[in-house]
Structure formats: C-alpha cells, structure tokens
Structure 1
Amino acid sequence: MAMYQESIRQKVTADLRMFARRESRVYNWKSIVGLFLFSPGFQFIFTRRIQEAAERLPFVGSSIRKIVWAISGVLFKSGIDVDAEIGGGFYIPHPYGISVARVIIGRDVTLLQNVTIGQSGCGKEENPVLEDGAYIAAGAVVTGKIKVGNSARVGANCVLLEDLPAGATAVAIPAIIYIRKIT
C-alpha cells in the first residue's frame, strides 16, 4: 500500500469530514468549532496532525513533536508512535487506552477505544499495515507483520495475528476470519 502524499491541511480537512459524517453532523463552521471544542477524539487526532506539522520545522521540529506527543499521551491516556504514518480521514471517537506502535494507516480508518496495534514482541521489526477504510473495534489487538485489507473489520476484543483480506471480518480470540461473498 502506497501512502498518499497529503498535506497536513488535506489530512485535517479529511479528518473533519470523517468526524462530521460518522457523527451525523452537517459539515459547516459550527460543527467544525464543535469538534475542536467538544470532541476528545478529534482533539487527539488534531494533536497528531500538530506533531506531523512540527516535524517539518528545521532544527527544533523533532523536539517539539516529541513534546506534543508526550502532552497528548498524558491528556488522552493514549499513544500513537511518532513514526507511525497516518492518512487523512482518521476517526477515533473515544481516544482512551489506545496504543499504536510504528504502523502504516491508510485513509478513512476507524479505531475505537482500548485498541492495541503493534509488533509481535519477537524482537523483529514487524509492523502492521491498516489499509483504507479499515475498522478496528474496541479492545482489539492487532500484532505482527500483518495487513488489514481495504474495508476489513476487526471485531471487539479480537486478537488478530494473521493477514485479514479486503472486506473480511475477524472476530474471537484467536481471530476467526469471515470473508464476505460478493454477489
């Protein structure tokens, strides 16, 4: 999966549109102000976009990014690795208890609370890839060098240890994969 070359502004706009759509809001200036003021999920993602923008500053960018990352972790009790690549339209309605390691996340991906995404712990560089439209439900664990395909869904409290094809759904511990039949 190739990462999209999106500007920070394009990512924030896509994030705002995704929040408006998922929370059944009209996309206008009132809903945008409401998201900035009253939506912890959007605030968490926006701090992530601030980190990405800060990284582009010469000399002090990486330091500022790490400071914003640390503050975000304290405020929301969640963390996304500073080296994670995240596309626009990222949706996290409840940003609590989330732990995301170095990972590639496509566009229009949804993560719910208490999700863990990362390496398998075998000491190897094994990072998951979440493709466009992936949905990771509350309490799910996705570990190892696996790919969650386009529009695939990982169910609540599922432990996913293998690739999940596009459009498929994984449930249970360990994951049982159901592939949708397209007619």
Structure 2
Amino acid sequence: MKTLLRPAVSLFVLLTAVTGVVYPLAVTGIAKAAFPEAASGSLIVKDGKAVGSSLIGQNFTDPKYFWGRPSATGPMPYNASASGGSNQGPLNPALVDAVKGRIDALKAADPDNKLPIPADLVNASASGLDPHISPAAADYQIERVARIRKLPREAVRTLVDQHTEGRQWGVFGEPRVNVLQLNIALDSLR
C-alpha cells in the first residue's frame, strides 16, 4: 500500500502546485504584460475613480442618458455574478409581454419619436451584460437625450458618431456604441 500511496500523494502535490499556483501566476503575468488594460478588467476611470468596465453594461434609466440593451440577469439588471439570458423562446408569452413592456416604456419616454424601435432596445442579450448598443439604437435615442439636456441635436449626434466603434479588425461583428463611455462623454458636454 505504501508503494502506491507515496507516488499518488507526490503526484497530487506536484500537480496542485503546477496547475494551482505556477500556471495561474504565469498566465496572469503574461496577460498583465501583454494586455494590461484587459487584464485589469477594462476599467473606465473618471476623476480618479473607477466608474465601470467597458465590458459590462450598466443600468441607465434616467431619460437624460442613453439606455443600453435590456438585461435579464437577476435579481437586478447587469448583475455580473448572475450572467445569463432569460432563456425564453419567441413563442413564450412572458417574452412577448416583456418586449411589449419595453416598447411601451420607450414610447412613453419619447412619445414624438416615430423612428422604428431597434431590436436591441427591446431584446436582452444572451449574457445580460452587453455594454453596447447598435448605432441605430443610439440614433433612436438622440432626440430624447438632446431635448432633455437642452443640447443641440447635432452636438449629441456628433458625440454618438465619435463613440461608434467599427467592426473588430474591420471584419468581425457589427458597428457598436459603448453606452457607458457615451454617457460619460455626454456628462462632460456643457
């Protein structure tokens, strides 16, 4: 029995040290050297204080801000510890009711807006944490934000254009607007 137990324990201790200590430290060190911003959580800092991450959405509900995609995380929106979608299919009455409620909220916040409502303003993302909206979703909200903040529409439009990111490497994904970064820039407008 001793001849079997000793190699097993030795191998257990060795693999624990390698996979539990050496490997994580090496990967973290490489990540911090090669991608320091991403390895630190892609934090957005304003006035010396972290206000969020460019990778995780935030729940903006005040009409003077651009709103992000709805979040299906619980118990509150954009809960990073509970990432996940609602898993409701297109025939689920709860999903239909949720989308109708979101459409009603958008129309109530901006009753004069006759633009078609972009899908990403009424459908939650798969993770529930998406920090981006489409340029069409930002365009839909420009009039409301400009009116409430008493800003020229063109100034808000320019800000949206400045914060519209293209496709990754010019190929992957779709153009997008990071809502937190846009709202921070919006707050800095006078």
Q: Which category of TM-score, normalised to the shorter sequence, fits these structures? A: under 0.3
Q: Please report the TM-score for the alignment, with normalisation by the length of structure 2.
A: 0.27
Look at both structures and tell me which one has the larger radius of gyration over its CA atoms.
2
Q: Please report the TM-score for the alignment, with normalisation by the length of structure 1.
A: 0.28
Greater helix proportion: 2
Greater strand proportion: 1
